[in-house]
Chains A and B, each alone.
Chain A
Amino acid sequence: MNRTLRAALFFVVAIAAWELLFRAGIWSPVLVPSPLTVGRYLGEALIDGTLWDATLVTMRRLLLGYLFGIALGLPLGLFTARYRLLGDTLGLVALGLQTLPSVCWVPLALLWFGQTESAMFFVVVMGTLWSMIIATDNGVRNVPPIYARAARTMGSSGVHIWVKVMLPASLPFIVSGMKQGWAFAWRSLMAAEIYVTILSGFGLGNLLHYGRELNAMEQVIGIMLVIIVIGLLADKILFSPWERFLHRRWGTAR
């Protein structure tokens, strides 16, 4: 049987089981809504635009902070790999801060920036930056030394060797770092949006939060599903194919 078909069948069965559980009436319909109710909510939210708007707001916040985090983390990771002093200092800081769950930045961001977009931006950047630094640093350290040696015999040195050899050579690791950075940024943004109401934009996390306030379980579950689907798509469409391609061509496949 075709793999896609098998997966589709699995979800049909899972939803059917959910519907059956709902009909069995064991739990209150307020706590366990039927898949149809959730579907109806999602349909309505799509038509009146709330879902689409919230997704846009969330994705804009995510992309801004994420791209900034990468643009900052990539060169910093190169520097920590290149200069021992930076590796021993900034590298250690990055390692420490990466272990800090990024939701822990939210209180600090609120105190510093108030309930503003800047707070969101800050939280997403903190989610991305450290794992990007660590992945780039790690990538450079994993470059086979023979590449640099070969490049030097061909007259490459200094900036040229970094841009033309070290950077492309570590690309598979950098993309893995970008994937991890994305996952962290996504988690931290959701946490921040649930935690903080910002009047300049109403994201998916805000919708989730209001679902709870309104006791609207179909909204809570519906938004959770949307968040899951976005995460899955990012992985399946954006990162995993790139990662596989790079590891294969670079000969770093594991």
Chain B
Amino acid sequence: MTVQTEIQNETPSKLSVQHVSKRFRSGGRVVHALADVSLEVGEGEFICLVGPSGCGKSTLLNIIAGLETADEGRVFTGGAPITHPGRDRMVMFQESALFPWLDVLDNVLFGLALKPGLSKAERVEVAQFYLKLVGLEKFARSYIHELSGGMKQRVALARALAPNPRVLLMDEPFAALDALTREQLYGDLQRIWQEHRKTIVFVTHNVREAACLGDRVALFSPHPGRITAQFRVGLPRPRDLNSVELARHATEITAALKGTTVPAEEFAI
């Protein structure tokens, strides 16, 4: 395998969530985190899962990642059922989850090192390609504690992209960042997604963020966690978080989220 074939786009994968339920026992009572949730995500689609905290959207993401198992129902990627974590589905967490004992380059190499078929030099080349993609090639030898919050999440993005997954799972990756940094990252993420098509499942509680990034937005409601409405956002890319059009979409989604609206179909755009 060469570096070129390695960083060529892997076909993004179709995701199919079928009747997934999940319950947790917490402090003597049962929390119904997910109740019969079904969701189809197309190849290379960018879908945002939006809802208040505790609505089960992160649980669904973890099940897709293979970090948790569903009590009922199944999830398929590209036709194969998900049973455990795999490099075809990489995860980006809210905290960077980068390893502080490794420098930036070695963090990006961590997942690559476990991928067979590449020599050490080729891995380094692949890692540097992704560091460049997120604009951090000059920081390859920096340590994590020397980076700002935004830079950390860029490294995390590079690390998630490096093994060339078919699905990218993002769990509120920008929630802890300041507004300015976040807007920059929206731009970068859209650019990267357009260049390197991945199927992206993006969990957030920020409606504007969801409208800015997603092809589609799925609304979750808690107790029990389920999908109550879905919206298609047809705005051209790259999208500007501050555009009036985007604000209009966000307002409609917010209204639906608060349950103050007529059935979802009327708002589907």
Number of contact residues on B: which range applies?
20 to 34
Query: In the complex, what distance in Å separates the CA atom of A147 from the CA atom of B100?
Result: 10
Among A150, A168, A171, A251, residue most surrounded by chain B Cβ atoms (within 10 Å): A150
Q: Say yes or no: is B34 at the interface (Cβ < 8 Å to chain A).
A: no
Query: In the complex, what distance in Å separates the CA atom of A171 from the CA atom of B89?
Result: 29
| A151 neighbours in B (Cβ, 8 Å) | 110
Among A153, A156, A160, A168, residue most surrounded by chain B Cβ atoms (within 10 Å): A153
Count residues on chain A whose CB falls below 8 Å from chain B CBs: 21
Instruction: Please report whether the interface of chain B is mostly helix, strand, loop or mixed according to DSSP.
Output: loop
Contact check, A251 vs B90: say whether CB atoms are below 8 A apart: no
Query: In the complex, what distance in Å separates the CA atom of A154 from the CA atom of B89?
Result: 9
CB < 8 Å neighbour of A155 from B99, B114, B144: B114
| A147 neighbours in B (Cβ, 8 Å) | 97, 99
Q: Say yes or no: is B143 at the interface (Cβ < 8 Å to chain A).
A: yes
CB < 8 Å neighbour of B163 from A154, A160, A165: A154
| B101 neighbours in A (Cβ, 8 Å) | 168-169, 171, 249-250
Q: Say yes or no: is A82 at the interface (Cβ < 8 Å to chain B).
A: no
Give chain B interface residues in 60-92, CB to chain A under 8 Å.
65-67, 85-87, 89-91
Q: Say yes or no: is B120 at the interface (Cβ < 8 Å to chain A).
A: no
CB < 8 Å neighbour of A251 from B87, B89, B145: B145
Contact check, B85 vs A169: say whether CB atoms are below 8 A apart: no
Q: Say yes or no: is A7 at the interface (Cβ < 8 Å to chain B).
A: no
| A144 neighbours in B (Cβ, 8 Å) | 95, 97
Contact check, A153 vs B85: say whether CB atoms are below 8 A apart: yes
Q: Say yes or no: is A23 at the interface (Cβ < 8 Å to chain B).
A: no
Query: In the complex, what distance in Å separates the CA atom of A150 from the CA atom of B99?
Result: 9
Q: Say yes or no: is A141 at the interface (Cβ < 8 Å to chain B).
A: no
Contact A155/B115 with A149-B93, A168-B99, A251-B145 known, Cβ cut-off 8 Å = yes
Contact check, A153 vs B90: say whether CB atoms are below 8 A apart: yes
Report A252 CB to chain B, min CB distance, Å: 9
Contact check, A146 vs B97: say whether CB atoms are below 8 A apart: yes
Mask of A114-134 contacts with B, CB within 8 angstroms, 1/0: 000000000000000000000
Mask of A160-173 contacts with B, CB within 8 angstroms, 1/0: 10001100110100
Q: Say yes or no: is B224 at the interface (Cβ < 8 Å to chain A).
A: no
Query: In the complex, what distance in Å separates the CA atom of A97 from the CA atom of B10?
Result: 56
Contact check, A154 vs B145: say whether CB atoms are below 8 A apart: no
Contact A249/B143 with A154-B163, A155-B86, A156-B114 known, Cβ cut-off 8 Å = yes
| A171 neighbours in B (Cβ, 8 Å) | 101
Query: In the complex, what distance in Å separates the CA atom of A150 from the CA atom of B157?
Result: 12
| A153 neighbours in B (Cβ, 8 Å) | 65-67, 85, 87, 89-91
Report A195 CB to chain B, min CB distance, Å: 42
Q: Say yes or no: is B111 at the interface (Cβ < 8 Å to chain A).
A: yes
Q: Say yes or no: is A236 at the interface (Cβ < 8 Å to chain B).
A: no
Q: Say yes or no: is A152 at the interface (Cβ < 8 Å to chain B).
A: yes
Contact check, A250 vs B65: say whether CB atoms are below 8 A apart: no
Contact A154/B90 with A146-B95, A160-B114 known, Cβ cut-off 8 Å = yes
CB < 8 Å neighbour of B67 from A152, A155, A156: A152
The 3 A-B pairs of least Cβ separation, nearest first, read: A154-B111, A150-B97, A155-B114
Binding site for A on B (CB under 8 A): 65-67, 85-87, 89-91, 93, 95, 97, 99-101, 110-111, 114-115, 143-145, 159, 163
Q: A153-B89, A153-B90 are in contact. List 14 more A-B contacts (CB 8 A).
A: A144-B95, A146-B97, A147-B99, A149-B67, A149-B93, A153-B87, A153-B91, A155-B111, A160-B114, A249-B101, A249-B144, A250-B100, A251-B144, A251-B145
